[in-house]
């Protein structure tokens, strides 16, 4: 595995889940493995979990993590080939990424979408510029279209909470939000859940279909009540429209999960990647109750990152 940017195959996913659970039982068992190696964590956007969990994962392997908040601390980057840089941008990505590639053994990049330029976002243009010009292994800390470390942590969390002998019904449900939100978490969750062989149903209002590249193999059900029936795991996430790119069509509060939504799924567990807008996306009673796996997902971000870093440094 050179880069970690997406779901590759079930065999690799199973290996990473097993290794992550092994690290969870003994986080510092390979404390010398990364000695002398540095991972540069480059954030073009804000983060709490991804930032802290990736640093802890690196430290657990004896690696040195260095975080750069490029949006606040770096030079304004120019991404376009052949740009005449006579406006706001100060440094070209081909220079910046090449320099970072000489400083670090591994780069980890967060680069959110524009939500206005659909083609650029779908091509994961900014993220791929780092891969193109850095010359070192790159880990996605969330790109325009995927959040694979989150999805790996989610698969680990499902694995830990599965009822033995039962193929779980997994549901990804759209939730209301006040802002236009990227598709990366929802895309990636679908990609990993389908790839790992889960029975996935996706439910959302009409007009919120995700890119079919990520959802082929899932059932699409526009009626949330039907979708939730007999669910074992319910993943809650907002995303903006993909077809009417980046637009909000509805904020219908009836899509926010409360206890009454679980009448036909009494044992369902609820997942969310966080941060969550309480009582907009998910009710307090769900987040603070026994169904919630959100803190376990966040904890598993450490071991997902550790399994990936360990694999990359070999
Ligand atoms: N879930 C997640 O990626 O959280 P942060 O945006 O805080 O890193």
Q: Provide the pLDDT for residue 229.
A: 98
Q: Is the pLDDT of residue 71 over 90?
A: no
pLDDT for the residue numbered 73: 87
The CA 275 to ligand 1 mean position distance, Å, reads 6
Number of neighbours of residue 193 by Cβ within 10 angstroms: 27
pLDDT of 130 > 90? The answer is yes
Q: Is residue 48's pLDDT more than 90?
A: yes
Average pLDDT over residues 125-129: 97
Q: Is the pLDDT of residue 74 over 90?
A: no
Where is average pLDDT lowest: 33-47, 72-86, 201-215? Answer: 72-86
Ligand 1 nearest atom to the CA of residue 274, by list position: 1
* Residue 261 confidence (pLDDT): 98
Give tens-digit pLDDT for 230-276.
Answer: 999 999 999 999 999 999 999 999 999 999 999 999 999 999 999 99
pLDDT one-digit tens code per residue, 134-192: 999 999 999 999 999 999 999 999 999 999 888 999 999 999 999 999 999 999 999 99
The closest-lying atom of ligand 1 relative to the alpha carbon of residue 53 is: 8
Q: How far is the CA of 252 from the centre of ligand 1 (A)?
A: 25
Task: Taking residues 288-293, report their average pLDDT.
Answer: 98
Can you tell me which atom of ligand 1 is nearest the CA of 51?
Answer: 8
pLDDT band at 79 (very low <50, low <70, confident <90, very high): very high
pLDDT reading at 42 higher than 90: yes
Does the interface predicted TM-score (ipTM) exceed 0.95?
A: yes
Q: Is the pLDDT of residue 72 over 90?
A: no
Q: Ligand 1 pocket by C-beta < 6 Å: which residues?
A: 47-50, 142, 150, 273-275
- Was 237 annotated as part of a binding site? yes
The predicted structure's pLDDT at residue 246: 98
Q: What is the mean pLDDT of residues 76-99?
A: 96
């Amino acid at each position: 595995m050179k880069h970690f940017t997406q779901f590759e195959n079930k065999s690799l996913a199973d290996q990473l889940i097993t290794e992550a659970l092994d690290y969870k039982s003994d986080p510092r068992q390979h404390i010398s493995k990364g000695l002398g190696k540095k991972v540069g964590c480059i954030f073009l956007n804000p983060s709490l979990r991804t930032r802290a969990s990736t640093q802890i994962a690196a430290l657990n392997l004896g690696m040195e993590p260095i975080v750069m908040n490029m949006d606040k601390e770096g030079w304004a980057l120019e991404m376009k080939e052949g740009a005449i840089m006579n406006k706001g941008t100060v440094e070209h990505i081909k220079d910046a990424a090449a320099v970072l590639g000489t400083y670090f053994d591994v780069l980890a990049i967060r680069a959110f979408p524009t939500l206005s330029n659909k083609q650029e976002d779908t091509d994961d243009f900014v993220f791929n510029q780092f891969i193109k010009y850095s010359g070192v292994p790159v880990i996605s800390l969330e790109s325009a279209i995927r959040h694979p470390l989150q999805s790996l942590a989610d698969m680990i969390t499902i694995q830990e909470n599965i009822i033995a002998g039962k193929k779980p019904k997994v549901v990804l449900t759209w939730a209301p939000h006040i802002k236009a939100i990227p598709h990366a978490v929802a895309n990636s969750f679908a990609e990993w859940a389908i790839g790992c062989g889960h029975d996935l149903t996706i439910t959302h209002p009409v007009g919120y279909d995700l890119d079919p590249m990520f959802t082929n193999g899932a059932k699409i059900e526009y009626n949330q009540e039907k979708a939730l029936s007999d669910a074992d795991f319910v993943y809650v996430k907002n995303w903006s429209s993909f077809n009417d790119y980046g637009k909000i069509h509805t904020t219908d509060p009836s899509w926010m999960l409360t206890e009454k939504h679980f009448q036909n799924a009494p044992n369902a567990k609820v997942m969310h990647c966080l941060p969550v807008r309480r009582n907009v996306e998910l009710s307090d009673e769900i987040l603070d109750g026994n169904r919630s796996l959100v803190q376990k997902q966040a904890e598993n971000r450490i071991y997902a990152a550790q399994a990936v870093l360990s694999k990359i440094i070999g």
